[in-house]
Amino acid sequence: MLKKRIIVCLDVKDGRTTKGVKFQNNIDIGDPVEMAAEYYRQGVDELVFYDIIASARGRGPILDLISKVASQVFIPFCVGGGINTIEDIRDTILAGAEKVSLNSPAVKNPGLITEGARIFGNQCIVLGMDVRKDPTKPSGYGTTIHGGRVDTGLDALEWAKKGVSLGAGEIVLNSMDADGTKAGYDIELTRMIAENVPVPVIASGGGGTPQHMADVLKEGKADAALIATMVHSGKYTVGGIKEDLNKMGVPVRF
């Protein structure tokens, strides 16, 4: 059985790690370079670094900060936010990232997924999705961009399938309804996407306990669970979470 991955997300704003609820009321919680090094020590499988305001401000990735984070970790490292061109993808990978997450730019320019996958390989291109419940959509879920501020009009399932057909090798699926609430992942959403695309799906938004993670990894059929508040708060460590998941029958890497 394939082992499930634990991924820690660092949301970065103005060079500092930040955390909010449903992308609102963000507070400063530390230095992303120091935090990345600590989670690497704790045994995290991957790190995701999101510049949460780059797209809204219309600027590119913060390459010097990405390079500093990359120098501290020797695990897959994915970067999102402000990656609008092939040059941005190249610069981000050269700065030390293994993967780039395309969210707002992918919706505006789907060709970026295809071109990025052709040049750098599907494994380097991650489709980031910020999804909300929307009863007007066929799947019951709609897609947003710019940190949830703009409704794209796209059905979540339809966009996930299209993104993969264009060349995305993985999906980070963030439930905007659950984000930062610590009340559990959206199992129904995650399972729906995971069952309908042939690439790994990373569940994001709502993780508050190891039980929530076990639920989305088993019932939600996610390949990985992304966490932030759980470990940023100091309540849990990555190693402790892995031990708990192992006891619950979830295969993890030690």
Structure tokens at 6: 């634990």
Q: For residue 123, how many other CB atoms are within 10 A of its CB? A: 14
Catalytic site residue 11?
yes
In three-state secondary structure terms, 193 is: helix
Map residue 30 onto helix, strand or coil: strand
Residues 6+ apart with CB under 8 A from 173: 129, 131, 160, 189, 190, 193, 201, 202, 203, 204, 222
Strands of 57-205, DSSP E? 77-80, 99-102, 125-133, 141-145, 150-155, 170-175, 201-204
Residue with tokens 């959509």: 137
- 64 is an active site residue: no
Query: CA 98 to CA 110: how far, in whole Å?
Result: 21
Q: Which of 45, 51, 130, 186 is catalytic?
A: 130
Give the number of other Cβ atoms within 10 Å of residue 198's Cβ.
7
- Four-residue CA torsion sign, 81, 52, 54, 31: negative
Pairing state of beta strands 201-204 and 125-133?
A: unpaired
**Residues with catalytic annotation?**
11, 130
